[in-house]
Amino acid sequence: MTASELPRPDNHVIVIFGATGDLAKRKLLPGAFHLQVAGLMPRDYRIIGSAPPSFAMTDEQFIEHAREASAEFGITTPDHPAWAEFTRHLSFSAAEPGNAAGLAEAVQRAEKQIGGNPRRLFHLAVPPAAFTSMVDMLGDSGLATDRSRVIIEKPFGTDLASSRALNRAVHAVFDESQVFRIDHFLGKESVDNILALRFANGLLEPMWNRDYISYAQIDVPETLTIAGRANFYDATGAYRDMVVTHLFQVLGFVAMEPPVSLSARHLRAEKYKVYEALRPLDVRHAVRGQYKGYRSEPGVPADSGTETMVALRAEVDNWRWHGVPFYLRSGKALGASRQVITLGMHEPPLRMFPVIRSDQPTGRRNEIVIDFADPGSISFKFLAKVPGPDMILGASQLAFRYSESFAQANALEGYERLIHLAMLGDQALFTSAEGIERLWEVSTPLLDNPPPVQPYDPGSWGPASVDKLVAPYRWHLPEDAGT
């Protein structure tokens, strides 16, 4: 199915809070234009950018802001013939808690221009500290109705207590069916292809369990430092920034049971069962690292104990996965920027083969590797006979690559796909309130008693204890960082 064959949402008034910020510039405004060109925006809609009065823009300035954003970051750039039509849908209205009358008037005016009874979609592209006050504003001003939906960015709280408090504040204004907690990882084609790989192929699903899989890894290293984001990052750290909001979501797809259907209700139910089966994290199986030089970054306290890298072992204690360790790692200033899932298979008896090439690393010979950095790939690593007179085994690989197999013109960027689903009201790829609270619950031991941070060199793969964490296995990265 091409993008143009996907369902088209009802008519909408879309309000982007934080419209002058980085997320709107890099993702939301360019993404809306690409959706327009792909024929996936509503037949009639209005996008109202909003920010506090101190960041107010005229409509013309906002259109220019959107043009610059699409030129720099867009898949489709403003030289496309559809740009002039797209700008007709854009306007700006400042608002802040206690001062939303102008925005309410702008929304009502936009609805009259569209006619009928369009839906409202509010995207909170604002700092997490502002989530509650913005939701309260939507309720107090009357902007939130039974035809409204709200997109909330991560992080969804910082611990169990704060996530519960945020959910209570949101549910005081919106029903859970109206709430879309967005994680752009789940909008990736390559992440969603995990479902197709597992459940559409009779070759793999029978072996997707503890009888055949000895370990799993979800590895998302980054080469970037915190790059001037000290105010956010030092109060958050790698675990809250990446593991709860991204890596555990991917783990849910890898470990879930077959859903009855791909509907939101069934997918979210199976993911929640995985989270229910997660054991509370064992601090003894966690490593926190901090790259050398982090404390010299502008805005970082000289005695900061915030981790810039975290690696841990998680356990899903159910019939499918009992005894299979899930190793998760993410962090800044590491040796490569990758997004990789690795499933290591149990090793068969190899006594009949006299020689295995000396350059083959021990402990990892058969692997399924899913690279979910766009455009993504899936590879199977196995041993085969090396050509020659002797029975010598060497590593071989079968690979599927999206870039070589399907037309990339059909693809949507993660945010684009998720915003389209939010307009349709499809919550399948969004996180539920109970799911996020359960993840904070299993995280509590690590948050309450974190191990001290260990220094590591920028460009390395973290402290040496990261390798000890996965012993007797090995990380798929860095040996295959270039594949």
- Tell me the backbone φ, ψ of residue 55, rounded to 5 degrees: -115, 20
Active site residues: 246
Residue 46's contacts (CB-CB under 8 Å, 6 or more residues apart) are: 12, 13, 14, 89, 90, 91, 110, 113, 114
Residue 292's contacts (CB-CB under 8 Å, 6 or more residues apart) are: 455, 456, 457, 458
Measured CA to CA in angstroms, residue 192 lies from 184, 246, 412, 418, 428 at distances of 11, 14, 12, 12, 11
CB 253 within 8 A of CB 195: yes
Reading the block at residue 17, the tokens are 């809070």
d(CA 404, CA 402) in angstroms, rounded, equals 5
d(CA 35, CA 187) in angstroms, rounded, equals 14
CB 249 within 8 A of CB 186: yes
SS3 category, 262: coil
CB 36 within 8 A of CB 81: no
Measured N-to-C along each axis, helices 59-73 and 29-37 cross at an angle, to the nearest 10 degrees, of: 80
Q: What letters, b where the CB count within 10 A reaches 16 and e where it falls short, cover 194-233?
A: beebebeeeeeeeebeeeebbbbbbbbbbeebbeebbeeb
Q: Give strand pairing partners of 13.
A: 46, 120
Nearest Cα neighbor of 192 from 133, 241, 239, 259 is: 259
